[in-house]
Structure 1
Amino acid sequence: MPPLVSIVMRTKDRPVFVRRALRSIGSQTHTDWELIIVDDGGAPGVVDAVVAESSPLVRERTRIISHPVSLGRWQAANAGVGAARGDLLVLHDDDDSWAPEFLARAAAYLHEHPDRLGVVSRIEIVWEQRTGDELRELGREAFLPESVAPLLMDQQRFNQFVPIAFVYRRELHERLGLYDESLPVVGDWVFNTRVLELGALEYLDPAPLVYWHQRPSGIGVDGNSVIAASEDHRRTDALLRDEEFRRLVAREGAGAALYFERRLRETEELMKREFAALRKEALHPLRSAYRRLRNRFQK
């Protein structure tokens, strides 16, 4: 009988992170899952060795797909999705982690809300540094603590939730297709946006059950894509937005776009004038006080 949840993990030559990720998965109170690790062009035997030293539960429920050469992060994700058997899917990045009750809470929510396409956990960012095999925590902060829900209007600005926080129904891929393999990055932003266009999503709980580990100084295999590949993110984001803008103009014409651009420019200019006036008003008492002091000491 197939498991309820299929967990897909992509990795390449990061055994320290995979070891922690396997502990995260193995500690889940919900145990009806399978794990598919896609080794995307990593050194032979590295992933097998890490899995071999993990708990019996993890070993017996893990399958490894090995790509002789790296195909890319979204090709790797799609390979895992294609091999998955569960009705529910989640991408567990190899350097992130979950609270033990995350899968249980997500599975229960989706059982109780059959109309929902998926569910999102609130996220806590964990800042860390790796030295050899040691991962040292530097601090934590909430990700988007003021957000009331993963909203489509906010998703237009930037991705509101990372893959590890999103448990979704497999049928979404039947409706939307797989992750876009033409994109070097932000494939999750594109997919999540299309999901939100289909229907609303909710947060599981006010407290975060997902930990998004980030290493500000990490480079090479230690890097997070949002930091180490920030230029790829910036460029891909701009090109995607330009493509969508072109489609809008092709459908609706340039009139509305030109009107709103003009109004936005006028608003920006008005804000600059208002800020300059406020700044001048705030500095006026200081200038008067300075002149009084100067005149006093010059006597």
Structure 2
Amino acid sequence: MKQILFVICWIFLVACGTNQETNLHHLEDEYSRNHNIYISSSSENELVATLLNISPDNDENLITTSNNNYFTQNNLLKEIKEGIFQTIITEKQDNHVRGISFYTWIENEDEIIILDKVKFTDDVDLQLGQFYSDIWHENNKFYLSYHDLDVTSSFITEALTGRMVTSPIIIGSSKNEVILKVGEPSMTDWYLGGTYYYYNDMAYLFDEASNVVAINMPGLRINVQISEVIEKLGAPTNKSYSEMENSYYYSYEAGPYLLSFEVFDKDKNITNIWLTKSNNFLLK
């Protein structure tokens, strides 16, 4: 029933034309509760060969550009960072979409080196994949986060300063400071009673005074389960469950701050990484 309701809500949002202000965080949460996103640090060579009609290379991360032009078609290609590109591949069978894949890659001479792939399949899964695809085409700032980080002790050391790894923003920064440092967001949302600024790889939650009270990183960026986080960072300071979010949080104290890894199921990958003050309002 929850999955059906999710699809109906999604169709309603699209029908109403909500793109920039779409409730993206809630859609991602609902999807993560019910489905596994297929993520791989390298491409499945046979699948790529089938989709692109090329001969498999020896190295599964490499595709020779001389053998295909698919990745470089303008309507499927976006430079998401300097020298880093993202391409959407839609797999069809009998005119029906069977899969939507987001490839993140770099080009080196005559080769395309795939950094990561996120694939959406089956019914509700494809609804979200199409949702992302539509935003991807309509909003030039938007791209799907990809696996670009490893879990290291730097997550804790940065948290001690009120900062999430790779973020120039610290807890307590004003909305004006955020915009000055990282520009306008890709999308905005309303979440937990505050304004939510989404920047693809990072998001910032503001309180009523327009100050940052939480920093959020998509779990796609680390692409691991909680067991690997514990292996790298040690046992968490505390474990908790939020009925409001229907989520488990594995949290590490970092001075006056709390670094929390959110999962909906202990056997699934990390969904979100949160940095808040030690009185973590997410768990209330």
TM range (shorter): under 0.3
Query: Which protein has greater RCO, CA pairs closer than 8 Å, 6+ apart?
Result: 1
Larger Rg belongs to: 1
Higher normalized strand content (fraction of residues): 2
Higher helix share: 1
Give the TM-score normalised by the residue count of structure 2.
0.25
TM-score by length of 1: 0.24
